[in-house]
Chain A
Amino acid sequence: MNKVVANAQEAIKGIENGMTLLVGGFGLCGIPENSIHALVKSGVKNLTCISNNAGVDDFGLGLLLNNHQVKKMVSSYVGENAEFERQMLSGELEVELIPQGTLATRCLAAGYGMPAVFTPAGVGTEVAIGKEVRNFNGKDYLMEYAFDAPFAIVKAWKGDTDGNLIYRETARNFNPLMAMAGKITIAEVEELVPAGSLDPDHIHTPGIYIHRIFQGEKYEKRIEQRTVRKK
């Protein structure tokens, strides 16, 4: 079993024009920075990116947007990104906005081998248009399908050479879910350690879900909203 690849460039091999990618992170927290940089360099185009947010103008998935490499975004929240909003309102970029919990659960369903789930989020709103509604115990639910994506790209704090992953604090967010949902999942980690050196009780994502792993060259970990109090 050899899952370790040398770098981000190596890891994203096989991602081609027009493909759908699941990309972990929440805002700029826990995003696969190195893989995104490699995708920008690769010039791959017409991507559909499923990710909670779209980064900011000059970081995260915003870099791919600025480079016009993204055809469609599937996200729950896209505020705080001027270029994204411009491309969306002008029609250059196709955008599907879905509730955050629905996004998470559609990943979960894929990773759990379930074709669809029922959720009340969006009942009676435009999110429900075209979707099957089922009533359980007097309450309406929308049927939402599991995502079907050839690649997922996630970021973890620590990983071992077998692909077992541990996330840190709120940088966990969508990463374990997207890791489960990809047909091929790429994990980049801050620290790659030999298999056997992580406590099995502490693993968040078992290595079975991970196909390629590498230690990111550099992590900027940009903060989107720096809020502090005085000592």
Chain B
Amino acid sequence: MPLDKNGIAKRIAKEVKDGSYVNLGIGIPTLVANFLPEGVNVVLQSENGLLGMGPFPFEGEEDPDLINAGKQTITTVPGSAFFDSAMSFGMIRAGKVDLTILGAMEVSENGDIANWKIPGKMVKGMGGAMDLVASAKNIIVAMQHVNKAGESKLLPECTLPLTGIRCVKKIVTELAVLDVLPEGGFRLLERAPGVSVDEIRKATAGKLIIEGDIPEMQITN
């Protein structure tokens, strides 16, 4: 059965290393924080100017001066620090943030990503995404394998305006875990429980590389 949003977040949580600085995008990536394995302690960076983002505040304790990049009210954890937007993107650009997890509308087989604009229909803006994908050491994309119209989002080439080029390293969808090879192509690493390689092949428009037996994802907690 394909994973739900929490399932995708749970699987991505397994990729997060103890002691790392992590930036989580809006949507499924935000959920990853809820599923970090025991013993994995990370510092969450919010690009509006915070290291050490904590959970949502208790009811009645919301502080309008304390929000995340999705403009949600949040809290801080002990050891947190505030800074301005230039320093925030300075640490991103300088490669101090270890892992970026973000959503996407399309990813191409050479690692290009599109997630900020559908010409003539929807323009939200790139926010910090272009800065993050241009500089992050490791980028994991969390997204649905196909769009609402049933079309694959893993493509030979992106059709939408790009956010960044040759930057995505790994993709986790409701169907599969794949990595993007430096020479091009999506290499299938894991299948969602009960999902066949054939289903994944049908849902992938870009070059899919399948080597040997593809194991099922192990998702606990």
Contacts and interface: CB of A to CB of B under 8 A. Distances in A.
A174 B89 CA distance: 11
B57 interface: yes
A20 to B, nearest CB: 19
A99 B130 contact: yes
Contacts of A127: 126, 130
Nearest to A205: B84
Contacts of B68: 170
Interface residues of B, number: 55
Name the residue among A88, A173, A177 with the largest chain B CB count within 10 angstroms: A173
Interface string A130-174: 000000000000000000000000000100000000001111111
Contacts of B162: 124-126
Contacts of A224: 67, 71
Contact of A225 (B72, B117, B164): B72
A120 B94 CA distance: 11
Contacts of B85: 26, 52, 100-101, 103-104, 173-174, 177
B135 interface: yes
A75 B116 CA distance: 13
Interface of B: 46-50, 55-74, 82-86, 88-90, 92-93, 112, 116-117, 120, 123-131, 134-135, 161-165
Interface of A: 26-30, 52, 75-80, 85, 88-89, 95, 97-105, 107-108, 119-127, 157, 168-177, 204, 221-231
